[in-house]
Amino acid sequence: MKSILKVIAISIALGASFQTVVRATDSGGQYLEASMTEDEVILIDLLSQRLQSRQSNGAILFTDEDESQLAQTLTKYIRQTREQMRFSNELLRGKEVMGVKESAEPGI
């Protein structure tokens, strides 16, 4: 019984390690897909639809390098947005704790 539990614990640790390594190595932004919020998914979809329609019209053609750059920019944007949101939430929470009744707009 103890051995089985130890195997489970080690499996969980290995799973967690694997997830960490995957997240760390895949810096191109793909790992974000798994943890994206609904708004982020909608944003990406809209952007890709617009790009596809432009490409099919022959207006813009993307090279692999362009796509890679775009992915990096998006990753950076999402990360910054998340940090801003987290900061705003902490600010709001802090105001609530201090008993200040004025509301603060998140993200401003």
Question: Is the CB of 55 or the CB of 68 nearer to other proteins?
Answer: 68
Which x/- pattern over 22-51 shows residues binding other proteins (rule: CB under 8 A)?
A: -xx--x-------x----------------
User: Binding segment for other proteins among 1-9, 39-47, 59-67, 99-107 (CB under 8 A)?
Assistant: 1-9
> What are the structure tokens assigned to 18, written together?
């694997």
Question: Is the CB of 51 or the CB of 74 nearer to other proteins?
Answer: 74
Which x/- pattern over 65-94 shows residues binding other proteins (rule: CB under 8 A)?
A: --------------x--xx--x--------
Does 6 help bind other proteins (rule: CB under 8 A)? Answer: yes
Type of residue at 33:
E
Residue with tokens 């207006």: 59
Q: Cβ contacts of residue 87 below 8 Å, gap of 6+?
A: none
Q: What distance in Å separates the CA atoms of residue 13 and residue 29, rounded to the nearest whole number?
A: 24
Q: What distance in Å separates the CA atoms of residue 96 and residue 108, rounded to the nearest whole number?
A: 17
